[in-house]
Amino acid sequence: MADPDHFALLARYNAWMNDKLLQAARQLPPQGLRADRGAFFGSILGTLNHLVVTDTMWFRRFLDHPAALRTGALAPIAAMPVENRLDAAPFDTLEDLRPRRAAIDAAIGAWIGELGAEDLAYILSYRNSKGIASRRETASLLLHVFNHQTHHRAQAATLLTQAGVDVGVTDLLVLVPDELAGRC
């Protein structure tokens, strides 16, 4: 059975890295953020928009999960508009995007923190962006969402590095407690 603590770690990592990326991106002028750099979503801002769009899509799907109904932690995401295209760019500036990213990450962290093993085993029924119906285990869906975030954040980090901005350490290991710490 999936371990809720692992997903809590992934949610913390997700929020931490999103914040690091946004902090790094602030070092570029607006035209540097919007410049087409040949990435899948064109620019750094395009990639960051994609992450906001897809997280909104995914966590709105989780609104039908019994744990979402029980906790209400995803209510802020329920109130957010949903784009119908994966390449949608609802935010023209980083400053416009930042509050949405922070609100999504806070809701994700709050919801994940409420999940138990039985919630992770729940089979969620949903429709993807093309309307195709699916039924999948919540733990596997969450792994996909967090992996998707990591994939596109790596793209954004590479684009930032190419633009001369150092994102710094990005390893999940930084957040994993060292079990030797404090021992003599």
Q: Please answer whether residues 4 and 117 qualify as being in contact, where contact means their C-beta atoms are separated by less than 8 angstroms.
A: yes
CA 131 to chain centre: 22
Is 144 within any annotated ligand binding site? no
d(CA 45, CA 17): 15
Is 6 within any annotated ligand binding site? no
Is 65 within any annotated ligand binding site? no
Catalogue the long-range contacts made by 146-149 (C-beta closer than 8 Å, 24 or more residues apart).
Answer: 146/7, 146/10, 146/11, 146/13, 146/14, 148/54, 149/14, 149/17, 149/18, 149/51, 149/55
* Binding region: 50, 148, 152
* Binding region for a divalent metal cation: 50, 148, 152
